[in-house]
Amino acid sequence: MNPTDTSLAYSTFSTPFGSFAVAVDAAGRVVAAVFGGRAALRARLPAVRLVEDPARTQRARSQLTTWFKGGRRRFSLRLAPAGSPFQRRIWTALGLIPYGQTRSYGEIARLLKTSARAVGRANATNPVCVVVPCHRVIGADGSLTGYAFGEARKRALLDLEKATVSRS
């Protein structure tokens, strides 16, 4: 999807981790999901016209809300993040990290035959956070090593998943 071609429907909703916004294209595919509101989406999608439309984003909001409450481990949403073929390859690999588990930048790099730095850069530009679980990527030593929405929030997301897995 080329996000400059069209307007996107978006909505903002509350989560236990703060305000969250999601944007979908005309086909209902998730283009962006971020912590924050319209301004956070605008930062990720500067050339796009955003139209508030909770009805069009309802499916994504519902799945995300359930996930934030610990009631969902996987998403069944269609995605359309804008990115290079390399970025999309990294984001696809992130989506394979199981709920409640983590992988290091180096592990993903070895899997995809690239550098840990390249994985880190693509991870940092993931426009569909949580759905594409960039929070599950950590340093080789187990450190959190940053998160676009803050390391405290990254820790909280990982703790949510760990708590959900331990209840199973």
Q: What is the pLDDT of residues 12-61, one digit of tens each?
A: 999 999 999 999 999 999 999 999 999 999 999 988 999 999 999 999 99
Whether the per-residue pLDDT at 73 is higher than 50: the answer is yes
State both tokens at 26.
């005309």
Whether CATH 1.10.760.10 fits 85-167: no
Domain parsing of the chain, residue ranges:
3-68, 85-167
- At 74 the pLDDT is 94
Beta strand 30-35 pairing with 18-24 = antiparallel
- Note the pTM of the prediction, 2 decimals: 0.90
Whether the per-residue pLDDT at 166 is higher than 60: the answer is no
Q: Is 129 a catalytic residue?
A: no
- 33, 134, 137, 160: which one is catalytic? 134
Whether the per-residue pLDDT at 118 is higher than 60: the answer is yes
Instruction: Using CB atoms within 10 Å of the CB of residue 2, give its burial: 0 to 12 exposed, 13 to 18 middle, 19+ buried.
Output: exposed
- At 59 the pLDDT is 98
Residue range 88-104, pLDDT digits in tens:
999 999 999 999 999 99
- At 6 the pLDDT is 76
Report CA torsion sign: 148, 45, 116, 137. Answer: positive
Q: How confident is the model at residue 168 (pLDDT cuts 50, 70, 90)?
A: very low
Residues 31, 82 contacting (CB under 8 angstroms)? yes
The two domains 3-68 and 85-167 share their CATH topology (first three levels equal): no
Q: Output the CA torsion 127→87→147→56 (10° steps).
A: 20
* DSSP conformational letter for 136: G
CATH number of the domain at 3-68, please? 3.30.160
